[in-house]
Amino acid sequence: MPTIELISKYFHNLSPQQIDQFSRLDPLYREWNDKINVISRKDISNLYEHHILHSLAIAKFITPHESTTFLDMGTGGGFPGIPLAIMWPHCRFHLIDRIGKKIRVAQSVAEAIGLSNVSFQHGDIGECRNKYDYVVSRAVMRLDELVPLIRKNISKECVNKLPNGLLCLKGGDLTDETRAVKAPIIEVPLSDYFSEEFFTTKQLVYVKL
C-alpha cells in the first residue's frame, strides 16, 4: 500500500484538500530526488510508509490546539514538519536544517502543494531563538544531546493539555539516551498505532520541558 491509501487507512477524516496535498507529495519528492538526494534512492518507493506515515505518528499522540506552534529541528527534506502541517492546517510550523539544499527542497514542496502555515530557516539550531510549544524531530541526534539544545526554544506558555516539550521519532534501544535525560519522558511504540512491520522497532518519545 505505497500511496495515499496508506494515510487514509489510519486517518479517516481527511479533507479533499488534505488528500490532494498528501497525494502530490510522491511525484514532487521523486522529481526532487532525481536532482538532490534528500531521501535514499532505494527508499523513495517507501515514501508514504517510511517518511509520511512515520511523521504522522505524532498526530496519533497529540491533537493540538489550533494556535499551537511547532519547530521541526533538522527537518531534512521536510519530515516530520510537512506531513504534520498538512494534517494541522491551523497550527504553525518552522522548519530548520543546516543543509541548504534540503531546506530548498522542503520549501519548494510546501509551496507546490499550497501550504501556508510553514516557514523555513537554513541554519543551526543555535541560530533559532524563537520559542514554540513543541519541538519535533526525526532521529536527528541522541536525546541527551538534543534536549539541551532545544530547551531555549520551548515556550513557557502552554495552550495544550499536553505540556510543552519535545516530540521525537526514534528507533532502536533508547535506554542509554533516556537515562541521561533529566526530564519526564513518555515512550510509545509505534506498533501501538501502525501495523506495518517497519514500525515494530520505532518509537515516539515525548520529553516534558
- The tens-digit pLDDT sequence of the chain (209 residues) is 457 899 999 999 999 999 999 999 999 999 999 888 888 888 898 999 999 999 999 999 999 999 999 999 999 999 999 999 999 999 999 999 999 999 999 999 999 999 999 999 999 999 999 999 999 999 889 999 999 999 999 999 999 999 999 999 999 889 998 898 999 999 999 999 999 999 999 999 999 99
Helix (H, G, I), strand (E, B) or coil at 153: helix
Model pLDDT, residue 114:
97
pLDDT of the residue at 2: 56
Residue 4's pLDDT is what?
87
pLDDT at position 3 is 77
Please give the pLDDT value at position 108. 97
- Neighbour-count burial for 82-110, b at 16+ CB within 10 Å, e otherwise: bbbbbbbeebbbbbbbeeeebbbbbbbbb
Which residue type does 110 have?
A
Q: What is the pLDDT at residue 127?
A: 94
pTM of the full structure: 0.96
CA-based torsion, 149, 118, 79, 107: positive or negative: negative
* First CA to last CA distance, the chain: 37
- Bond from prior residue into 148 cis (ω within 30 degrees of 0): no
